[in-house]
Homo-oligomer: A and B are copies of this chain.
Amino acid sequence: MDQSTPEPLRPRLLSGTLKDHDGEIVHIEGWLHKKRLLGGLTFINIRDRRGLTQVVVKDKNEVEKLRGLQIGSVLAIDGKVTNEPRAPGGAELHDPSITVLVPVTIEPPIEIDKPLSHKSENLDTLFDHRALGLRNLQEATIFRLRSELLKYIREFLYDRDFIEINTPKLVAGAAEGGAEVFKTDYFGKEATLAQSPQLYKQIMVGVFERVFEIAPAFRAELSATTRHVSEVTMLDVEMGFISSHDEVLNLVQDLLYEVLTRLYKEHNNELTKLNAPELKLKPVFPRYSMAEIHKLYQKETGKDMTQEIDLTPEEEKWICNYAKEKESCEAVFATGLPISKMKFYHMKDNNQSTRSADLLFRGIEISTVPQREHRYERLIEQMKAAGIDPDSPGFAPYVAAMKHGLPAHGGFGFGIDRLTEKAIGLSNVKEAILFPRDINRLSP
C-alpha cells in the first residue's frame, strides 16, 4: 500500500461510462459497496462518484484477495467490459485483476448498501453514523440534488443582474429582535451569531440594487421538533427600485418555478428513486388573501379559523392541496399578512395588514416575502415602536443607509435545507442537512 493511489496503466473510467467500451480492458477505482455469492461466482459492486459498477470475480486468486475485506475497502480493478443489461449502467467487468488500495476489515456500524430508513425512530442512529451513512446511494443523492439546487438558484440570480455578497456572521446586535441568539465573547465585547443578513442586504441595495447571499444563519431554538435546527443555510435576496410589491412576489415565484422545474427535468431518475412526488407547478402561482383562505377552509371543513391572525398549520397544508387540485399548482401565496405579525422593517399597507405575503409550498410556509419600509422617518417610528434603539451600534449603519437614500425595495429569504426537503418530499428538514444541529446534537 503506497501513500498514493499508484498511477494506473490505463486512465480511470467512472461507473456509467463502461458501456461504450464493450470488450475492452479498462481500469476502475472505487469503494467495495456490496459483495455476494451467486452460483459459485462472487459479484461485487464498486462505488464511485457516479454510481456503481458490477464486477464478476471467478478466478480463485482474485476471490482470495477479497477475503475478509469489508464494505468501504478501496480497490483498483482492471477487467474486461462485457455489456450486460441487468447490471447497473448496462455493463459489468469480467476477469478482474484486483489491487487493494485501502483494506477495511471491520463492518460498518450502519448498512450502506440498501436504502436507509428515515422513520423518525431511526433518525438518531442515522445521524450518529452520518459520516458513513452518507455513503449510501440514496442519502448521497439528496445532497447531489441539493448542490444542483444551489447552482440553479445562483444561475437564475446572475441572469438577473444580482451580485453575490458575503456579510458578517459575527454581529453586534440581533436583527430579528425576539428570537433566541447564540452569543460569544469577542475580545471582551459581546457578539451574537447572525440570525439573518437582513440589515446588511438592505444596506447593500444602496450599492448594487440587487444582491443575494447563501450562507449559514444561527438560531438558538429551544424546540426539538422536525422543523427546528439551530444552524440553517439561508438564501437571502433583496431587490431595489421595485414599482410594486408584486414585483418581489414575481421574483420569488419565477425563481422557485425555474429551479424546481429544472430539477425535475434534469434529475427525474434520481427523484423517482427517492420516491419524490410528482411536481405540479404553474408559472403563475395562485394568490389568496388570508381572509379568503380562512373562508375557503371553513366552507370545505366546517372549521372556523377566521379569528386567527395567521394561517394555522392545518390551513397551510389544506390550501396547498386545494391549489394543487383546483389549479394544478403546489405553490401558493397567502397575501395580506396582519400587522400584528410584522417585523419593524416591513412596510404597512394599511392599518390592518402589511405589504407582505407568505409563500407556501407542499403544505408549509417556505418564505415570507415583504416590501421593506424604506422611508427614514417611518422606519424610525417602527423601530421605536418595536423597542429598538436606532442609534445602537448594531442598527446605526442600517439607519444611515436609509437616511442617505434607499429606493423602494423588497426581498425574501428561505432555507436551502427546507427547500431541499420539500423539493424531494422528505419528511424532516434534518434529512436535507449533511450534519444537522439541534438542541440535542452538536456532532458529528
Interfacial residues, chain A to chain B (CB-CB below 8 A): 1, 3-8, 12, 29, 31-32, 48-49, 70-74, 101-102, 104, 106, 108-109, 129-132, 134-135, 140, 143-144, 147, 150-151, 154, 158, 161, 163-172, 182-187, 189, 191, 193, 200, 203-204, 206-210, 215-216, 218, 220, 222, 230-231, 233, 241-245, 347, 355, 371, 374-375, 393-394, 396-398, 400-401, 403-408, 416, 433-435, 437, 439-440, 442-444
Contacts and interface: CB of A to CB of B under 8 A. Distances in A.
A72 B140 CA distance: 49
A164 B147 CA distance: 5
Nearest to A404: B72
A3 B216 contact: no
B443 A393 contact: yes
A5 B243 contact: yes
Contacts of A400: 109, 129, 131-132
Nearest to A129: B400
A151 B151 contact: no
Contact of A168 (B74, B231, B244): B231
Given A184-B183, A208-B49, A442 B6 contact: no
A82 to B, nearest CB: 24
A7 B243 contact: yes
Most buried by B among A8, A164, A182: A164
Nearest to A108: B404
B168 A158 contact: no
Contact of A135 (B185, B186, B207, B407): B207
A394 B443 contact: yes
A435 B375 contact: no
A7 B186 CA distance: 46
22 contacts: A3-B371, A3-B408, A4-B245, A4-B408, A5-B241, A7-B244, A29-B407, A48-B209, A104-B403, A131-B203, A132-B206, A132-B404, A143-B208, A147-B163, A151-B164, A171-B442, A171-B443, A182-B186, A189-B442, A191-B442, A204-B434, A398-B444
Nearest to A393: B443
A200 B134 CA distance: 12
A225 to B, nearest CB: 15
A405 B102 contact: yes
A400 B109 CA distance: 10
Contacts of A243: 4-8
Given A167-B435, A186-B230, 13 more contacts: A71-B404, A71-B405, A72-B206, A131-B397, A140-B207, A144-B163, A154-B154, A168-B216, A168-B435, A172-B442, A182-B184, A183-B184, A183-B185
Contacts of A182: 170, 184-186, 191
Contact of A397 (B49, B244, B443): B443
Contact of A439 (B4, B187, B396): B187
A281 to B, nearest CB: 24
Contacts of A183: 184-185
A407 to B, nearest CB: 5
Most buried by B among A29, A242, A444: A444
B435 A200 contact: yes
Contacts of A439: 187
A221 B207 CA distance: 30
Contacts of A7: 243-244
Contacts of A1: 375
Most buried by B among A8, A71, A72: A72
B233 A166 contact: yes
Contacts of A129: 400
Contact of A147 (B165, B169, B233): B165
B131 A398 contact: yes
Nearest to A4: B408
Contact of A172 (B165, B200, B443): B443
Given A204-B134, A208-B49, A101 B408 contact: yes
A71 to B, nearest CB: 7
Nearest to A355: B3
